Structure 1
Amino acid sequence: MRLSWNEIRARAARFSEEWKGVTRERAETQTFYNEFFQIFDIPRRRVASYEEPVKGLGDKRGYIDLFWKGTLLVEHKTTGRDLKKAKIQALDYFPGLKDKELPRYLLLCDFQSFELYDLDEDTEVRFRLADLKDHVEAFGFMIGVQKRTFKDQDPVNIEASELMGKLHDALKESGYDGHDLEQYLVRLLFCLFADDTGIFEPKDILLDFIQNRTSADGSDLGSRLNELFEVLNTPEDKRQKTLDEDLGNFPYVNGALFAERLRTPAFNAAMRLILIEACEFKWEAISPAIFGALFQSVMNKTERRALGAHYTTEKNILKLIQPLFLDGLHEEFARAKALKRGRQQALEALHEKLGQLTFFDPACGCGNFLVIAYRELRALEQEILRVLHDGKDQRIFDVAQLSKVNVDQFYGIEIGEFPARIAEVAMWMMDHIMNNRLGLSFGSNYARIPLRTSPHILHADALEADWAALLPPEKCSYVFGNPPFIGSKFQTAEQRRQVRDIAKLGGSGGTLDFVTAWFLKAGEYVQHGKADIAFVATNSITQGEQVAQLWPLLFQRCKLEIAFAHRTFAWGSDARGVAHVHVVIIGLTRRDREWPEKRLFSYADIKGDPVETRHKALTAYLFDAVNVADRHLVVEERNTPLCEAPKLKTGVQMIDNGILTFTTMEKEEFLRQEPEAEPLFRKYIGGDEYINGFFRWILYLADAEPSFLRQLPLVQERIRQVRQYRLSSSRPSTVRMADYPTQVGVDERLSGPYLVIPNTSSERRDYVPIGWLTPEVVANQKLRILPDADPWIFGLLTSGMHMAWMRAITGRMKSDYMYSVGVVYNTFPWPDITEAQKQKIRALAQAVLDARALYPGATLADLYDPDLMKRELRQAHRALDAAVDKLYRGQAFANDRERVEHLFGLYEKLSSPLTAAPKPIKRKRKKE
């Protein structure tokens, strides 16, 4: 029977009365603590021992007065002795303890004075024996009730997952596998958590049951655990009267968690010890939100090698749910709390509202978004209840009747059965943690056992499932989550079909990322309700060609507007050297219920904290739409320039599988064997080589006489290999090139210096390093090339104006800029310019080149590093920027945002049908 805090306080008062005036240490100490433990209905000898030997500092052996391994260390003194020295003495024991034995709590006592330290939370409570009843909640940890501040990078979450991984591997290697293993692990997870957090009472009865009621060789452990699972699934009044007393101490749990009959696993001694080790772990410390994803990773040894890489930090989850609903609810709470009239009614109405909200994550995985959303909603509810009942005797409340928020307000869809079940358990775990916190606030020992309500987690493919059947859209408040990131090139045929069917773009279905299918399906779903949407997505959906494919569907077909957004930042975990994914967060609302202000969060550093700005409207490129009417404008990829401009091309694509490509060392070795081939080698440069100041070589054979090539057997062998490689291709165009093995791909025969633009460049640079190459150098497909370019064009393209356009609309590789011909160059609005203005730009462009030439030993990477950029070069660029800006308008631009807004206005005019501009690109499916 669960003790109420009122009963515990009454016992504490009786204990204080019985022990007042006692001062002797040795004679009475053990009786004192035996009776102290009975306040909480815990037999002391079951969990703690007296005079535990341990090596202290200097290898001196000492004896801990009372020790509950992993939980509590007590140092007891005669009344009036200095407790400061007692604390020093107690802490001296710590180096001699094993990690799993280290206690979270330290109690110093002299019969009449108590000092309790929470070493994890760095808090302390001091009181006199007579006041024990008023401070007894501080000992809630003895019955599994305690406060815990969860931390994103707390290694305890990883350690717990590794323990589950050991258990998983041992069971799997024994032949216990598949669905039964997954369900078995989820059950054990719940039981381990329950044993430490007050769901099972008294604390550690699971550990006691396994240690003392199963054989050391593990032979009966599987059958005994199955007995336990049956008990947990059976109400107390339906159990056999002859049931084992130890099993009868476990509560009825229900919640469908223990309903299914599973095969009985065969444990051995080693496997039993692994489970005991897991039982001894401090499960109250884990975060259900983070641990769920880590727990899932134990099922895959490859993922486990990077354990910690796959969970989403709480900080990042909050970036989505705070602007979606939490901030608004907290603002409502602040307004209601500040009322002088009608305050009680307003707070009660808000509390009622919290109990009516519904939350839907259609890609919920292990439930981390749902768990954190539930935690935050319960935390807000607790604040409301505290204000509503301030000044009242909180001990008279039935806490179970106070809370209106429950896990059945939360819905999810998950394609994997194992993570779906983890999500359910994680929600129950978080529910129990929040019930504990509410109980502590109102002086009650509160646990929702048996589990009468459950989160609604559907095991299904979200892109095939009927969302409305799970949660009717008119009953849904918020749709949110973190759908899978898979680029169009990496999708399976089935995934591409799903995206194509949902997007309804026709033809090849475009180049949309997999995550966009959730945006579109959510957009259609909310047309029948009033829910707002927020998803994490790859930043590619706000850049490059995807913008023109996706956003007209969201803006026009789904009638949505951007309510808030986070610009590109790093998503994921900092654990164990994990590479970051670069993402955006997009919040969407129906156009007929627009938010009065749109919130935009921008990052100076993708790993730093954002700066928030407020706007009337936001564009798909995540910047302010000064003219609200322009907020739906998207830039469409084009195959010809929007203005009268020279055609930008792509460098040579070598269809040779590296056969004709050489490093300097490889070239020297080749020439050592066939020196006559030296005239055939030409420098070969791509974007990386151009920026970082190195080059490779190719055998350039297009101009070579056949009679000369016939004299070079090693060159002929390379030609033969190229021919064979092309013949083996599945692409007809490559096979056709096999007839011309001495030719590279598309080859511009350049006669003079030509302008080059690297395809990719670091986002740190203020300017993409643009420059010139001479015709004897072959530029590959990683460079854009502009033959016969006038120097004034170099000045325009390297200007801040063009850079601002590029940054706003180009695609990215991670966070690096990808300079696209069709999206950036061909869509750029060129200025009207006179010959005199061209001459001025030429001179300023030459000044940039002259400033570079002052440092002949520096690479472009050196010169354009924002931390290293020389004063002369920066000043030359700024002078050029100012001159180019004046080509567009007389008034100076304050920043890049103003430049982009101006360019978008020009783009809208130039791309209007009335201008008869060239049509945008229409992609055809490539035949393989």
Structure 2
Amino acid sequence: MRLGWDEIARRAKAFSEEWQGAHYEKGETQSFYNDFFEIFGIKRRTVAVYEQRVKLLDNKQGFIDLFWPRTLLIEQKSAGLKLGRAQGQALDYLHGVHPTEQPRWILTCDFQRWDLLDLETGKELKFALADLYKHVTAFDFMLGRRVSFERQEAVTIKAAELMGKIHDALEENGYVGHDLERFLVRLLFCMFADDTGIFQPKDIFLQLVENDTFEDGSNVGRVINELFEVLDTPEDRRQSSLSGELSQFPYVNGRLFRENLRTPIFDARMREHLLDACRHDWSAVSPAIFGSLFQSVMDAKERRAKGAHYTSEENILKVIGPLFLDDLREELEGLKARKTAKDKLLLEFQARLSRMRFLDPACGCGNFLVIAYREVRRLELECLQELYGDQRIDAELMTRVTVDQFYGIEYEEFPAMIAEVAMWMADHIANNEINEAFRLNYARIPLTGGATIRHGDALEVDWNEVLPAGQCSYVMGNPPFIGQSYQSKVQREQMSRVIDADSGRAGSLDYVSAWFLTAGAYIQNNHRIRIAFVATNSITQGEQVAQLWPLLFDRYGLEIAFAHRTFSWGSEARGKAQVHVVIIGLTHRDFEPSEKRLFSYPDIKRDPVESRHGALTAYLFDAMRANQHLVVRDTRKPISAPKAMRMGSKIVDGGHLIFEPGEREDFLQAEPEARQHMVPLVGSYEYINGTIRWILSLDSVPPSKLRSMSHVVERLKKVTEFRKSSKKAATRKLGDFPTRFEVATIPGDSFLVFPEVSSERRDYVPIGWLEPPTIPSNLVQTFVDATLYDFAILTSRAHMAWLSHIGGRLKSDYRYSIGLVYNTFPWPESSDVQREKIEQLAQAVLDARATHPTSSLADLYDPDTMPANLRKAHKALDAAVDSLYRRAPFNSDRDRVEHLFGLYEKLVNPLSGAAKANQRTRRRVARKVRK
């Protein structure tokens, strides 16, 4: 029988009246606590023992008056004795309690005075026996309902580790596949139910394993499978001869326990693993993060990473907050402040919550769905509290938000199972919050309905079959990223189909793009749906922008409603995985908000700063309404620069013509005639770090000279073999000319080099001149006949801002592309006087470098070690270049690139309305509203 708090309080008052004269410890303690447990409908003997023997630190024996493993320790005294001393005695007993059975609460009592200590929080509650009924909810842990969020991470990780041991042992014994996955999911539910009040009394599953299974483990699988059958059978249909232990368990739901599983075979060691897991405090486990950790138990390598792939709650809230939660919270606060028609509007608000439908088409273990459900239930709870105050309500009738409103698609079967169970766990926790608020004892048992989790490939499944678009409110999640070069053949085919079935090409888009495009197609049947996905930041910079965003903007009529600019997305687990991501919120333009929210990260690992804008570009910065759809496209010729830039030499030799310094000396000892043909080879790494490699430059060497160098000829043969084995026809053809490079850039005069790849930590990509004979590799871009003015513009903050926002990335490092960055960059106009000043400031930068002759460019441009004189010289140059673009100084790189973006539009579309409108007239809301 489930007792409500009103009935429990009534029983507590009767208990206090019956025992108001008790005072003698030895004679009355056991009867006293047997009756105390009955207040909560718990048979004391089923959960706790008297006079538990423990060994103290001085090796003496002690006896705990009453001990409930993992829950409660009671030290009882006769009336009038000091409870402080009794508490000290109880704390001493803890040293003799096994770590897996450490209690969270200590109660010291002399019948009339009570002192309840929470060891986890340090909070202490003192009251008199007569007031027990007033404080009875402090003992909600006896019903298994208290959830600690302060230590969820550690407790949840430990839970996954314990489950991992069970998994490994069963797998080693040949219990594998679907049966193993389903068996573990059921164990998860049973242990959570045992500690959170779904099963009553608390710990009956633990007691079943402890008391009804043999120590050698031989009957564990049979007993647990028998329990699964019981949990699948309504009470009125169970066999009359069912054992008393099993008959205590409630009917749960056939959907979870319906399928018959093979009986797993346990041994003594495996039984102990199971008992360790059962003794764990599952009431503190977070269903939001446990799922991904639990999934990791299926792969030992993943498990060693300690949940590197689960998503932190903080990051999930960054998605669902601006997607729907912030607006709903603001609306609820407004309703609570109303003076008229408040109740009616609150009921309408609750009804609307119950009509919302949520879809995560890459749901994994359901963490986005769990957090979204929890937050919507909390909004409903707040609504109910405003409506009914302290009145007792019928929770089953009054609560309307259910897990049935949540839908997911997951590629793998096991995480799909976990997601379904995690939602039931979240539902029970939400019900417990209702219980605490209204002093109820409500539980949704048997489980009815549940989240709809489709096991399937989200790019093959019709989302309308899972949740018709006409019923959907929000689409959200964290789809798989997978760069183009890492996609499987099937994934590339999917990308081609999603992007353009006719072209059969997917470009260089990351896999996550397919979810954006599929969502865009999905909402064509319901323009009110709002979308928010986590994505790699590569879809908002570089060449992917021009491939993806015109489809979203033009084909599907989408607009960016909110966005988080690049930040570090990590988990809260041990072995944290860090990746740079963005969050994009989209709406159909028929329902786009007037103000767009933008969250920027001055430090990608810290909190964002929010600003509001009239429109946002695909690059996630402010835009005029007229140019918000503009994207920067790779072009073969400069649209503004005075000269062309050229990539360095592309060797394609398999490394046979290239030498490290030590290799060079060894080779020249064997082939001294090759020395005059060995020249420095410089790429990004060599240039920045001041190192050098060498290459044989042989294209102009006469054949007779080549034949006289046998070791060189041997190298050329290997180059030919390497090229002939290529899959590319052009490379195989080049095999006939082993002395040639695929792209030969061999400057005869000094030339400026721009590293193709440079760390994002640097404020400036180090650029400068090299002298022949030097061969630049294809990892640097080259600029022949460059002037100091050219150097000044390319090393300026303006150009760095364009690179960081428009250019692509290699992992998180800047990637400098001629076609996308250099050729599209809007150069400023300048007078002769201005050019002369700029060149002087550019020379000051070079002079500042020269004052540190022993330092490499890596040393000079590391933000932590950059010399003050060099930084000062760059700052002066930046200000001068900025002044060429406009008189007012720029506030940030984003400010610079927004201005440059307007100039770019003038260059590529001189007749556009945006080009005619001076940037000074742009309508922009750029106020900071909070960090």
1:112 Cα deviation from its structure 2 partner: 1.4
Q: Matched residue of 2:879: which SS?
A: helix
For residues 461-502 of structure 1, give each alpha carbon's deviation from its aligned partner in whole angstroms, at most 9, with x where no partner exists. 111111112212121111100001111111111111111111
Counterparts of 1:623 and 1:686, CA distance in 2 = 33
Q: Within the alignment, does 1:899 sit opposite 2:896 as a pair?
A: yes
1:766 Cα deviation from its structure 2 partner: 1.9
Aligned to 1:8: 8
CA RMSD of aligned residues (A): 2.0
Check whether the contact 1:255–1:452 (CA below 8 A) recurs between aligned residues.
Answer: no
Q: Which one is further off, 377-386 or 712-721? A: 712-721
**Equivalent of 1:875, from 872, 876, 890?**
872
Q: Matched residue of 2:610: which SS?
A: strand
Q: Which one is further off, 906-915 or 599-608? A: 906-915
1:619 Cα deviation from its structure 2 partner: 1.0
Counterparts of 2:81 and 2:856, CA distance in 1 = 72
Q: 1:648 to 1:8 in 2, by over 3 A?
A: same
Q: Matched residue of 1:576: which SS?
A: coil
1:58 Cα deviation from its structure 2 partner: 5.1
Q: 1:2 to 1:894 in 2, by over 3 A?
A: closer
Aligned to 1:71: 71
Check whether the contact 1:255–1:453 (CA below 8 A) recurs between aligned residues.
Answer: no
Aligned to 1:922: none
Q: Which one is further off, 748-757 or 424-433? A: 748-757
Counterparts of 1:778 and 1:746, CA distance in 2 = 11
Q: Matched residue of 1:766: which SS?
A: coil
Q: Which residue identity does 1:749 align to in structure 2?
A: I
Check whether the contact 1:121–1:148 (CA below 8 A) recurs between aligned residues.
Answer: no
For residues 735-789 of structure 1, give each alpha carbon's deviation from its aligned partner in whole angstroms, at most 9, with x where no partner exists. 2222222333312121111111111222232211111111222221221111222
Give the share of equivalent positions with the same residue, in percent: 57
Aligned to 2:506: 509
Q: 1:796 to 1:644 in 2, by over 3 A?
A: closer
Counterparts of 2:101 and 2:627, CA distance in 1 = 64
1:229 Cα deviation from its structure 2 partner: 1.2
| Runs of 4 or more above 6 Å deviation | none
Aligned to 1:214: 213
What does residue range 169-208 of structure 1 map to in structure 2 within 5 Å? 169-208=168-207
Counterparts of 1:632 and 1:255, CA distance in 2 = 51
**Equivalent of 1:860, from 835, 857, 861?**
857
Check whether the contact 2:364–2:419 (CA below 8 A) recurs between aligned residues.
Answer: yes
What does residue range 428-507 of structure 1 map to in structure 2 within 5 Å? 428-504=424-500, 506=503
Q: Within the alignment, does 1:648 sit opposite 2:645 as a pair?
A: yes
Q: Within the alignment, does 1:549 sit opposite 2:547 as a pair?
A: yes
What does residue range 682-721 of structure 1 map to in structure 2 within 5 Å? 682-721=679-718
For residues 16-52 of structure 1, give each alpha carbon's deviation from its aligned partner in whole angstroms, at most 9, with x where no partner exists. 1121132222322222222222222323233222333
Q: 1:150 to 1:528 in 2, by over 3 A?
A: farther
1:260 Cα deviation from its structure 2 partner: 1.3
What does residue range 756-835 of structure 1 map to in structure 2 within 5 Å? 756-835=753-832
Q: Matched residue of 1:622: which SS?
A: coil
Aligned to 1:331: 330
Check whether the contact 1:121–1:149 (CA below 8 A) recurs between aligned residues.
Answer: no
Aligned to 2:926: none
Q: How many pairs were matched up?
A: 910
What does residue range 573-584 of structure 1 map to in structure 2 within 5 Å? 573-584=571-582
Counterparts of 1:878 and 1:723, CA distance in 2 = 50
Q: Within the alignment, does 1:147 sit opposite 2:147 as a pair?
A: yes
Q: Matched residue of 1:324: which SS?
A: helix
Check whether the contact 2:306–2:575 (CA below 8 A) recurs between aligned residues.
Answer: no
Q: 1:414 to 1:632 in 2, by over 3 A?
A: same
Aligned to 1:40: 40
Aligned to 1:345: 344
Aligned to 1:921: none
Counterparts of 2:713 and 2:96, CA distance in 1 = 74
Q: Matched residue of 1:457: which SS?
A: strand
Q: 1:834 to 1:254 in 2, by over 3 A?
A: same
Q: Within the alignment, does 1:733 sit opposite 2:730 as a pair?
A: yes
Counterparts of 1:56 and 1:656, CA distance in 2 = 74
Counterparts of 1:606 and 1:897, CA distance in 2 = 15
Counterparts of 1:74 and 1:782, CA distance in 2 = 72
Aligned to 2:920: none
Check whether the contact 2:416–2:455 (CA below 8 A) recurs between aligned residues.
Answer: yes
Aligned to 2:530: 532
Check whether the contact 2:653–2:723 (CA below 8 A) recurs between aligned residues.
Answer: yes
Counterparts of 1:252 and 1:754, CA distance in 2 = 80
For residues 524-571 of structure 1, give each alpha carbon's deviation from its aligned partner in whole angstroms, at most 9, with x where no partner exists. 211221111000000001001111111111111111111111011111
1:913 Cα deviation from its structure 2 partner: 7.5
1:652 Cα deviation from its structure 2 partner: 1.9
1:723 Cα deviation from its structure 2 partner: 2.0
Aligned to 1:398: 394
Check whether the contact 2:157–2:573 (CA below 8 A) recurs between aligned residues.
Answer: no
Q: Which residue identity does 2:875 align to in structure 1?
A: R
What does residue range 589-600 of structure 1 map to in structure 2 within 5 Å? 589-600=587-598
TM-score (norm 1): 0.95
Q: Which residue identity does 1:419 align to in structure 2?
A: P
Question: Which structure 2 segments of 5+ residues have no match?
Answer: 913-931
For residues 444-477 of structure 1, give each alpha carbon's deviation from its aligned partner in whole angstroms, at most 9, with x where no partner exists. 1111000112111111111111111221212111
Counterparts of 1:423 and 1:876, CA distance in 2 = 56
Aligned to 1:114: 114
Check whether the contact 2:716–2:738 (CA below 8 A) recurs between aligned residues.
Answer: yes
Check whether the contact 2:746–2:776 (CA below 8 A) recurs between aligned residues.
Answer: no
Aligned to 2:155: 156
Aligned to 2:928: none
Q: Which residue identity does 1:472 align to in structure 2?
A: P
For residues 62-108 of structure 1, give each alpha carbon's deviation from its aligned partner in whole angstroms, at most 9, with x where no partner exists. 33332222111222233333333333332333344332122122222
Q: Which residue identity does 2:539 align to in structure 1?
A: I
Check whether the contact 1:420–1:458 (CA below 8 A) recurs between aligned residues.
Answer: yes
Q: 1:864 to 1:71 in 2, by over 3 A?
A: same
Counterparts of 2:549 and 2:448, CA distance in 1 = 43
Q: Matched residue of 1:27: which SS?
A: helix
Counterparts of 2:495 and 2:344, CA distance in 1 = 48
Q: Matched residue of 1:28: which SS?
A: helix
Counterparts of 1:64 and 1:652, CA distance in 2 = 80
Q: Within the alignment, does 1:370 sit opposite 2:344 as a pair?
A: no
Q: Which residue identity does 2:592 align to in structure 1?
A: E
Q: Matched residue of 1:575: which SS?
A: coil
Q: Which residue identity does 1:418 align to in structure 2?
A: F
Counterparts of 2:121 and 2:552, CA distance in 1 = 46
Aligned to 1:280: 279
Q: 1:828 to 1:103 in 2, by over 3 A?
A: same
Q: 1:84 to 1:679 in 2, by over 3 A?
A: farther
Check whether the contact 1:53–1:62 (CA below 8 A) recurs between aligned residues.
Answer: yes
Q: Which residue identity does 2:411 align to in structure 1?
A: I
Q: 1:777 to 1:55 in 2, by over 3 A?
A: farther
Q: Within the alignment, does 1:569 sit opposite 2:567 as a pair?
A: yes
Q: 1:635 to 1:350 in 2, by over 3 A?
A: same
Q: Within the alignment, does 1:407 sit opposite 2:403 as a pair?
A: yes
Q: 1:673 to 1:29 in 2, by over 3 A?
A: farther
Q: Matched residue of 1:26: which SS?
A: helix
Counterparts of 2:294 and 2:116, CA distance in 1 = 33
Check whether the contact 2:312–2:572 (CA below 8 A) recurs between aligned residues.
Answer: no
Q: 1:201 to 1:669 in 2, by over 3 A?
A: same
Counterparts of 1:164 and 1:830, CA distance in 2 = 61
For residues 670-714 of structure 1, give each alpha carbon's deviation from its aligned partner in whole angstroms, at most 9, with x where no partner exists. 344444543333222221222222222233333444444444443
1:222 Cα deviation from its structure 2 partner: 2.0
Q: Which one is further off, 230-239 or 871-880? A: 871-880
Counterparts of 1:195 and 1:746, CA distance in 2 = 69
Check whether the contact 1:150–1:287 (CA below 8 A) recurs between aligned residues.
Answer: no
Check whether the contact 1:296–1:418 (CA below 8 A) recurs between aligned residues.
Answer: yes
Counterparts of 1:675 and 1:615, CA distance in 2 = 67
Aligned to 1:381: 380
What does residue range 257-276 of structure 1 map to in structure 2 within 5 Å? 257-276=256-275
Check whether the contact 1:567–1:584 (CA below 8 A) recurs between aligned residues.
Answer: yes
Aligned to 1:617: 615
Q: 1:187 to 1:815 in 2, by over 3 A?
A: same
